[in-house]
Amino acid sequence: MSEFRPSSKVVDLSTAAAPLLGAAKYKAVIIAWLKSTSKKLTIFFMNPDTWKRPKVWIIGLIFLRLAYVFMNEYGLNPFKKSLVGDHVFLTGAGGGIGRLMALRFGKLGCKLSLSDIDEPAINQTKDYLLERGVPAENICCFGADMSSVESIKEGGRIAREAFGDVTILVNNAGIVSGKQTLQLTESMINRTFAVNTISHIHTIKEFLPGMKSQKRGHIVTIASVSGLAGLPGITDYCGSKFGAVAIDECVRTELKKTGDWAYIKTTCICPYFISTGMFEGVGNIFPLYMLSPDEVADRILSGVRQEENFIVIPWRGNMVFLANLFPAVIKDRISNFMGADAVMDTFQGKGDTRMPGLDLSE
């Protein structure tokens, strides 16, 4: 077969790169390499025979997907949505990543309805935001207990009275008991599921109608890597987070079915351990490390603005899906080898205050 020669001019990467290289020591070598590579690439891509090979399409699609993942991961997606004027209802905003997300939403020009069961803490969040330049007229803070439907409804009423319909719901409030299955009390189990899972359905029911009538909305679920893989010593929490992931998926598919997906998006966030104190003392699962609350808050905000559906933080946490391809007997050995079986042995969490609303002091 004779060599293909493109009729139009060969794209020359070296022309664009030359000014960037300045006085680089190997400038001539780099320019020569770029020239020959440009020629080879142009010939390759402009040859009609190239596009008749399925392998090229498969590799091309994989490359595009990886480029998309990379752009999203580093917040480089050029199609980020503006959140100016959005009304955010954020639960568990009294500390941890809730407070940091509130600051980021506030800085982007959102109106903030912030709630927490801990009223002094939510008032501290207000001061924290004011000190950092979020306008007072954009902040509404109040106490609300996510384990109570009445409290959720009352929170909805306060938020609507302050800023009208909610357009971004962030289900962030969460608790962990840190007990082995046989040590769990009925009230621990019920409260964990009420706050981490059941409240999500009630808040969605509270705010989705407003999002539909506004034709604008975003539902953000703060789940966990514990919602993707079970660990010993964390049964109630894992179960509740698996539930949260499932709720997100059901609502997303429902929105698609009803056609509301065109303007109401969902984002499910599954972070590994974060140094907020909630999982104080836990071990590590190789190759993951304790995340900083700021990096998690940044990633959540970029995920919302890039309208991503599902985010594992850090990205390599997606390895849990790979592990699920193995039979349980092999999967369990791999995860134990990585340290997963001992991770909760050293758990301290927030001590007796780790489940607000429950007295754990006896």
Ligand X SMILES: NC(=O)c1ccc[n+]([C@@H]2O[C@H](COP(=O)([O-])OP(=O)(O)OC[C@H]3O[C@@H](n4cnc5c(N)ncnc54)[C@H](O)[C@@H]3O)[C@@H](O)[C@H]2O)c1
Measured CA to CA, the distance from residue 264 to residue 256 in angstroms comes to: 9
| Beta strands per DSSP E along 110-172 | 111-116, 139-143, 168-171
* H/E segment holding residue 313: strand 310-313
Integer-rounded Cα Rg, in Å, for the chain is 25
**Is residue 317 involved in binding ligand X (CB under 6 A)?**
no
**Is residue 118 involved in binding ligand X (CB under 6 A)?**
yes
Among the candidate windows 27-35, 126-134, 173-181, 319-327, which touches ligand X by CB under 6 A?
173-181
Amino acid identity at 168: I
Residue closer to ligand X by CB (options 121, 340) is 121
Which sequence positions are flagged as catalytic?
Answer: 237
**Is residue 98 involved in binding ligand X (CB under 6 A)?**
yes
Measured CA to CA, the distance from residue 116 to residue 127 in angstroms comes to: 15
**x-or-dash string of contact with ligand X, 133-162, rule CB under 6 A:** -----------xxxx---------------
In the set 192, 203, 235, 276, which binds ligand X (CB under 6 A)?
276
Residue closer to ligand X by CB (options 97, 343) is 97
Among the candidate windows 4-12, 32-40, 43-51, 87-95, which touches ligand X by CB under 6 A?
87-95
In the set 177, 273, 299, 306, which binds ligand X (CB under 6 A)?
273
Buried b (16+ CB within 10 A) or exposed e, 266-300: bbbbbbbbbebbbbbebbebeebeebebeebbbbb
Buried b (16+ CB within 10 A) or exposed e, 56-67: eeeeeeeeeeee
**Is residue 91 involved in binding ligand X (CB under 6 A)?**
yes
**Is residue 219 involved in binding ligand X (CB under 6 A)?**
no
CA distance between the termini of the chain: 84
**Least gap, CB of 114 to ligand X (angstroms):** 10
> Which positions lie near ligand X, rule CB under 6 A?
91-92, 94-98, 116-118, 121, 144-147, 172-175, 195, 222, 224, 271, 273-274, 276, 278-279, 356-357
